[in-house]
A and B are shown apart, each in its own frame.
Chain A
Amino acid sequence: MTEIFGVPTQALFGQLLIGLINGSFYALLSLGLAVIFGLLNIINFTHGAQYMMGAFLAYILANKAGLGYWWSLALVPLLVGAFGIAIERSMLKPLYKLDHLYGLLLTFGLALVIQGLFRNEYGTSGLPYAMPAELAGGRNLGFMFLPNYRAWVIVASLAICLGTWFVIEKTKLGSYLRAATENPALVQAFGINVPRMITLTYGFGVALAALAGVMAAPIYQVSPQMGADLIIVVFAVVVIGGMGSIMGSILTGFGLGVIEGLTKVFYPEASNTVIFVIMAIVLMIKPAGLFGAQK
């Protein structure tokens, strides 16, 4: 067996793949957080719970309605996104004029409620979700075995991330969005419905989290606490990247996933904490984050 730095290549590439998969989810979730934060100035603590809802809704659709993975991929983001819009309209709206911290506290409370309700209904043990038949199996790349589903997750999340980047940075709609981030009052004066844009942005960010949840369902076990621990890591990712740039969120997400994967190979004891350590180092050297502007 071939080795690199005393590590079998099989193990190395295997962990690298897991790192890329984790990185896909970090990127999708931190992207959603950054988009929401840009316009609403709220850190959406419910993000992890909404990701969990995405996975559970896919599970429920499959078991109660007989709708498979591809249906879920299309329907679940819409449903959870609509749920997000209802939250924004009813609860987040009154908070915009207050200190940003209240938004964090409110969404934290909502996350507790949602996680508690799902735990009551489904218990704490993980539930399996079947992989779509079209993506079962895998291919041998010579140096490693690549399961098709995992390749799909990486490609799909890259496409979604880059698509979002393109819309925000290169289209007219995106330019409104960026303008409203800078100066909402002025943009409103030009006749653009900013409150509606804010609502839809929140819905979109939430839909991204739900989409990530559906994609995660066949890989990780579907369980009520699957989002809670993940969201804390994503917060660290966001602090490292800084929320100023969309591309920054994407790059940091994938990059940290890979670093975490490599840590599992070379120093497994630190694999849980490596992202937090990197966060501490980045804060010491560049407090605004790698891609952030100090506000």
Chain B
Amino acid sequence: MMPRSQRNALALMAAFFLAAPLVVYPVFLMKAMCFALFACAFNLLIGFGGLLSFGHAMFLGTAGYAAAYSAKSWGFAPELAILFGTACAALLGLVTGLIAIRRQGIYFAMTTLALAQMVYFYYLQAPFTGGEDGIQAVPRGMLFGFIDLKNAWAMYGTVFVIFMAGFLLVYRAIHSPFGQVLKAIRENEPRALSLGYDVTRYKLLAYLLSATLAGLAGATKALVFQLASLTDVHWTMSGEVVLMTLLGGLGTVFGPVVGAFIIITMENYLAQLGAWVTIAQGVIFVICVLTFRRGVIGELGNWLKKPL
């Protein structure tokens, strides 16, 4: 059962995303929801498993390419394209997870970064990704054969449902016995091991779940923007999701959503200023690490003395 503070926050969040498109540009909100789901997936790994992945863009980008390619070239229906994209990210998560979880801490971060860079170079050269152009004009298609996603409201509703489902799945996972074991591993790995938990398997499962949900976000995003491009696989994207989660609050339930929303808003307004976006992101990183390690939601929860 959710504590009351979280139930209220959940209702507030759902109400916000349902009411906001009446005043805010829906495409912007869909982008925010995709990145919020991406950040929630990332937070599952760092906030509850203590594993800092610096390569999460590879899942976002892989799922985006797979969904876009299957929808455009094979004529997959949108629900199949999203499923296919998510499955590809999960497969990549399994392969890279088996390699990356062999090291902890800083080495894990460097390993995931390097693996993601390898994936990036692969997509840069592979013929089906369209190189620098990416896969453009991806058809949104008919969801379940009768909902036309070319309609902005149908697309918005779909993204909303996917986002809420992903969010609740993450919530469920971290509050299940599985999530408790994960936290135990984060706090004291040798002790969890001596209590008889198969630490490696738990970590791999967390990594796999995180990769899959990041993939779901990427596949959805590809359909929303009708585009899959190298931007989503680049290491700057991996850094961005770290920033969103850090700013919102590592290990909080709602932090990644708030963090993603703030960063996407900032990028939206600073977009014309070129490199200043990067500089602003760097400054936020430094400020968060030096003085604001709990993040927006972490500080708020601390102030209200309630879990958020």
Once the chains are docked, how many angstroms separate the CA of A277 from the CA of B111? 11
Does A235 contact B279, Cβ atoms closer than 8 Å?
Answer: no
One of A116-124, A139-147, A157-165 contacting the partner: A116-124
Once the chains are docked, how many angstroms separate the CA of A91 from the CA of B113? 24
Does B114 contact A112, Cβ atoms closer than 8 Å?
Answer: no
Once the chains are docked, how many angstroms separate the CA of A247 from the CA of B110? 21
Within 8 A of B (CB), among A80-101: 91, 94-95, 98, 100-101
Within 8 A of A (CB), among B116-146: 117-118, 121-122, 124-125
Q: How far is the CB of A186 from chain B (nearest CB, A)?
A: 23
Residues of B within 8 A of A232 (CB): 113-114, 117, 235
Closest A residue to B116 by CB, please name it.
A232
Say if the beta carbon of A34 comes within 8 Å of chain B: no
Residues of B within 8 A of A91 (CB): 286, 290
Once the chains are docked, how many angstroms separate the CA of A162 from the CA of B122? 36
Once the chains are docked, how many angstroms separate the CA of A276 from the CA of B96? 12
Say if the beta carbon of B278 comes within 8 Å of chain A: yes
Q: How far is the CB of B155 from chain A (nearest CB, A)?
A: 32
Does A104 contact B106, Cβ atoms closer than 8 Å?
Answer: yes
Residues of A within 8 A of B99 (CB): 280, 283-284
Main secondary structure of the interface of A (DSSP, over half): helix
Say if the beta carbon of A206 comes within 8 Å of chain B: no
Once the chains are docked, how many angstroms separate the CA of A30 from the CA of B110? 13
Does B275 contact A120, Cβ atoms closer than 8 Å?
Answer: yes
Q: A277-B118, A287-B103 are in contact. Are A115 and B278 (CB under 8 A)?
A: yes
Does B122 contact A116, Cβ atoms closer than 8 Å?
Answer: no
Q: How far is the CB of B110 from chain A (nearest CB, A)?
A: 4
Say if the beta carbon of A273 comes within 8 Å of chain B: yes
Does A101 contact B106, Cβ atoms closer than 8 Å?
Answer: yes
Does B110 contact A113, Cβ atoms closer than 8 Å?
Answer: no
Residues of A within 8 A of B113 (CB): 232, 235
Say if the beta carbon of A167 comes within 8 Å of chain B: no
Does A105 contact B246, Cβ atoms closer than 8 Å?
Answer: yes
Main secondary structure of the interface of B (DSSP, over half): helix
Once the chains are docked, how many angstroms separate the CA of A117 from the CA of B74? 44
Say if the beta carbon of B3 comes within 8 Å of chain A: no
Closest A residue to B102 by CB, please name it.
A287
Once the chains are docked, how many angstroms separate the CA of A293 from the CA of B293? 31
Once the chains are docked, how many angstroms separate the CA of A71 from the CA of B102? 45
Does A110 contact B275, Cβ atoms closer than 8 Å?
Answer: no
Say if the beta carbon of A53 comes within 8 Å of chain B: no
Does B286 contact A104, Cβ atoms closer than 8 Å?
Answer: no
Residues of B within 8 A of A168 (CB): none
Does B110 contact A43, Cβ atoms closer than 8 Å?
Answer: yes
Within 8 A of A (CB), among B269-307: 274-279, 281-286, 288-290, 293
Once the chains are docked, how many angstroms separate the CA of A284 from the CA of B125? 26
Q: How far is the CB of B268 from chain A (nearest CB, A)?
A: 18
Say if the beta carbon of B239 comes within 8 Å of chain A: yes
Say if the beta carbon of A111 comes within 8 Å of chain B: yes
Does B276 contact A105, Cβ atoms closer than 8 Å?
Answer: no
Closest B residue to A271 by CB, please name it.
B121
Select A235's contact among B114, B122, B278, B283, beta carbons within 8 Å: B114
Does B242 contact A105, Cβ atoms closer than 8 Å?
Answer: yes
Say if the beta carbon of A57 comes within 8 Å of chain B: no
Residues of A within 8 A of B282 (CB): 109-114, 116
Residues of A within 8 A of B246 (CB): 105
Q: A43-B110, A276-B114, A279-B114 are in contact. Are A109 and B276 (CB under 8 A)?
A: no
Say if the beta carbon of A62 comes within 8 Å of chain B: no
Does B111 contact A239, Cβ atoms closer than 8 Å?
Answer: yes
Residue contacts A-B, CB under 8 angstroms, 26 given: A43-B106, A43-B109, A91-B290, A101-B105, A101-B106, A102-B293, A104-B52, A105-B246, A106-B290, A108-B239, A108-B285, A110-B286, A113-B286, A116-B276, A117-B279, A119-B275, A120-B274, A228-B235, A239-B110, A239-B111, A239-B114, A272-B125, A277-B118, A279-B114, A283-B111, A287-B102
Q: 7 closest pairs, A vs B, by CB?
A: A109-B285, A112-B282, A113-B282, A276-B118, A116-B279, A116-B278, A236-B114
Q: A109-B286, A115-B278, A287-B103 are in contact. List 16 more A-B contacts (CB 8 A).
A: A43-B106, A94-B290, A98-B293, A101-B105, A106-B285, A108-B239, A108-B242, A110-B282, A112-B239, A112-B285, A116-B278, A119-B278, A235-B110, A236-B117, A276-B121, A283-B111
